Amino acid sequence: MNPPERLNPVNAPTPSSTQAEEQACVAFQSRMAERIASGDDLQTDPHLAGCPRCQTLLAELETIAQAARMLLPTEEEPDDALWQKIEQAISNERL
């Protein structure tokens, strides 16, 4: 039996540009909750402007964040643990 000769990644379905985009998304999303928590305006982020996936994720995150704020005392910032829970809830949804 001859070994298969299809070792060339000619038909590889992942062009490098897509990988770079995904890395940009991962980087953006990993800081998303943190930046919202610090009052940063993510709507002006250049990555977000060109990325429907992150726009959708941000919209979901803001909905959750608003709900979370309603559960908190008005003059208290959400702590880091809460934001981590929110991030976990979102990433679990994505799986």
Nearer to Zn ion, 21 or 85 (CB): 21
| Least distance between Zn ion and beta carbon 54 (Å) | 3
Calpha distance 44→74 (Å, rounded): 26
The separation between CA 16 and the C-alpha centre of its own chain, rounded to angstroms, equals: 20
Site string for Zn ion, 30-69 (x = CB under 5 A): ---------------------x-xx---------------
Closest CA to 94 of 60, 70, 69, 71: 60
Nearer to Zn ion, 33 or 51 (CB): 51
Please measure the distance between the N-terminal and C-terminal CA atoms of the chain and give it in whole angstroms: 40
| Least distance between Zn ion and beta carbon 50 (Å) | 8
By CB under 5 A, is residue 25 in contact with Zn ion?
Answer: yes
| Least distance between Zn ion and beta carbon 56 (Å) | 9
The CA-based angle 59-64-67, given to 5 degrees, is 130
